[in-house]
Structure 1
Amino acid sequence: MVNRKQRLPGPRLQRVLGAALLLSLVGLPLQALPKLRRGREGRLLPVHWQGAQALAPATPRLSGLNRKDSRKLGQISGWSSPQTRARSGPWSGSLYIGMNSQQFRRYTSDANWEGLAIARRGNGGQAVRHYMQPGGEGLYTPPPDLQLVYARGFLSYAYFVDDRLVGLRLVPDPQEEGFVLSQLMTLVQAWFPDNALTVYYQLAPDSQDLQVQEALIGQLPASFQGDLGRSGSQPFCRVDFQPGTAIANPPTQCRLLISAQTLPVQ
């Protein structure tokens, strides 16, 4: 039995209460409910409905940022060191002697290399030298070794003849700690997993950790033959790589003096 003296909510208030229950179920704030005023006979009547803006969550504003700065917070603009520019995980790309300049450009762009200078020699610029800072990418040597090595600590000169890569020359980056012989050997395997090639390297004098002073992977164009040996007068060592073969004990006593007869030119 319903107590007739008990006043039941009117239909309009019932709709408001139903809306409040619906809002609580979907997680919206009760401020989205219509404001009420008391009308005749004590009834609660809606004053106005706040509309769709009351249902939408407010978008937080970033203080101190203008509209021109749409970058994420903490993002640094401009070039940074290769360690911070490098990808967070190992890089799956590779190089090979004979690749064209477009393929090389795709690799260096994806791996975040920075171009520093370009030089062209020969009739129509048939020999080209790209001076670049590697992006510090991490690479694995082919299985079963799968050693991780990082392309950093040096600057690179990439040589092309008739739009084909013939060699890479590496020199220490003065803004970093340089690179050592074991890193060079591992990097050659990771960069050129499918090439049989020759590596020439010059070790820094009196270096306990076998710092590399200069290295050439592959060959030089004849018009750039004066580039090799600029880092010092020490003799070079030579190592021949075969695909899938690791160099466990590269020579450290170098006796090869670079001359016009021994220079590896294309």
Structure 2
Amino acid sequence: MSQQEQVQVTKIFTDYALEKMMDLFHHHDHEVGSQLKKAEPEEYKEYQSTDCITYVLNVLSHAFREMGNDQSAGRAWQLGAHGTRLAKYLVKKHGWKAIYLNPDAVHPRDATADAVRRSEEHTYSSIVALKQHTYYDIPLEYAVQNYCVTPEDHESFQLLNKNKPATQHNEADIASLEQVEFGFGISRGGMHTWLFSKGKVYEVHWNSIGDGLYEATPVRIFPWLSGAIVIPPEQAEHLAASAKLK
């Protein structure tokens, strides 16, 4: 055996997290969405319940345990009821880096004539991120914005900000984010949670089973729009310098 073959590759948190994330994504015949099981408990009594935050916690706790950190694995489950608190814990206690996300900070494409106010969060959270460097009390270091801008012929264009011109597309920052291997994401202040790898959002739908239970979506077209991702510290090396908050 050569000296090179004798060298053991040391796994890091990201390696273990990715393995578990993809294992559950591809092998979940034993699981059912939590709301579906709640609605029909007898039919799904042999299935394990899961949902968006359970997916996140299964992956994070597995990776912590594999790293020999049972205490942090347990702490993740304790904080799991509040995705923002879990994200803040990872930033404060484990040095993770938080990134604000927003595909179009001025003209959110979920604005409709009868529900414009619901879209105000996207613009407001962008202002807070840039000025205060926080997202729902999560300390931010980066912002990746304006990577899927709303075209002028879209029905949502200028519904929220009537006098603002079309947003300028920012390719550099999103292209760098798409190189990040693993992250934990939050939308609308923790209303939805998900995992991230190489430009895709991995999520669970709590009212589904089988092929519809898990889904992977390119982050550029993720329908929840604005939010935040926290990533292990070594993953920040992939991010463009222009994404760093100033």
Quickly name the TM-score band, shorter chain normalised: under 0.3
**TM-score, normalization by structure 1:** 0.21
**TM-score, normalization by structure 2:** 0.22
More helix by share: 2
Report which structure shows greater RCO (CA 8 Å, sep ≥6): 2
